[in-house]
Amino acid sequence: MPQFNRLALVVSDSERAQDAAAIFAEITDWVPLEDAEAVVVIGGDGFMLQSLHTMLDSGRIIPAYGVNLGTVGFLMNRHRAPDKLLGRIARSRSLNIAPIKMEAITQDGECHRFCAINEISLLRETRQTAKIEVSVDGKVRIPELVCDGVLVATPAGSTAYNLSADGPILPLDSQLLALTPISPFRPRRWHGAILPDRSKIEFRVREADKRPISVVADQKELRNVASISLEIARDAELTLLFDPGHALDERIVAEQFLV
């Protein structure tokens, strides 16, 4: 079981989270994030993603325990009895997730690098359908995918946008990625692929001037891209802490039985 002597507290700007902030502030002597061994994140899934990205950008990654004061709270723990928070953290279960790292080249030749915890999505920018060449491990698998877009999701993100696009739900320990088309027109019968997470996936935008494409890595968007390559960032693993019986892998299994 994890034992942390120095905890940081970060709170979203939402009204609910701010209202609870004073109560959480009295629980312990919180330390600045840069001095902490773990961080307690108060808010919703969006704020948790934002907090994890802040750690990725800084290069200093510590375990994160989320308290849900948002809506869905898929990445969070249930909000209850703040005075017992420290005991729950001490009994929590740690779960490691690996983000996707992406390198994108825009039409003007600029190179941009982002990481995504849930998914990387390519989306058409205009009324024209997108035309995208899809390659896996250096081999062209689909010369021309005509669609509204395409996404690559991690197991942690497979129940988000990927599921809405009829992609598969992936168990957290599956070491897989979901490659899912968004409203595909051709090939009509292609519904996506499940790939080993060691795969390197590349997209090349065809007719980029006429059919511009944007790429979204979680909460970051880049427009007018020409090509994208992505793979798992094994040197940037993140750790989430969950209460016993409320772990993310159980939620992913449960999601498959919702009707």
Closest to 239 measured CA to CA, from 1, 120, 78, 65: 65
User: What phi and psi, each to the nearest 5 degrees, are found at residue 166?
Assistant: 70, 25
Report whether 156 belongs to an annotated binding site: yes
Report whether 29 belongs to an annotated binding site: no
Report whether 243 belongs to an annotated binding site: no
d(C-alpha 208, C-alpha 188), whole Å:
22
Report whether 166 belongs to an annotated binding site: no
Report whether 148 belongs to an annotated binding site: yes
CB 173 within 8 Å of CB 134: no
Report whether 163 belongs to an annotated binding site: yes
Side by side, which strands form the sheet with 139-147? 111-116, 100-106, 225-232, 201-205, 130-136, 139-147
CB 169 within 8 Å of CB 159: yes
Report whether 45 belongs to an annotated binding site: yes
Report whether 224 belongs to an annotated binding site: no
d(C-alpha 46, C-alpha 52), whole Å:
10
Active site residues: 45
Report whether 118 belongs to an annotated binding site: yes
Report whether 119 belongs to an annotated binding site: yes
66, two tokens = 């989320």
241, two tokens = 């802490």
- Binding site for NAD(+): what residues are annotated? 45-46, 118-119, 148, 156, 159-164
- Binding site: what residues are annotated? 45-46, 118-119, 148, 156, 159-164
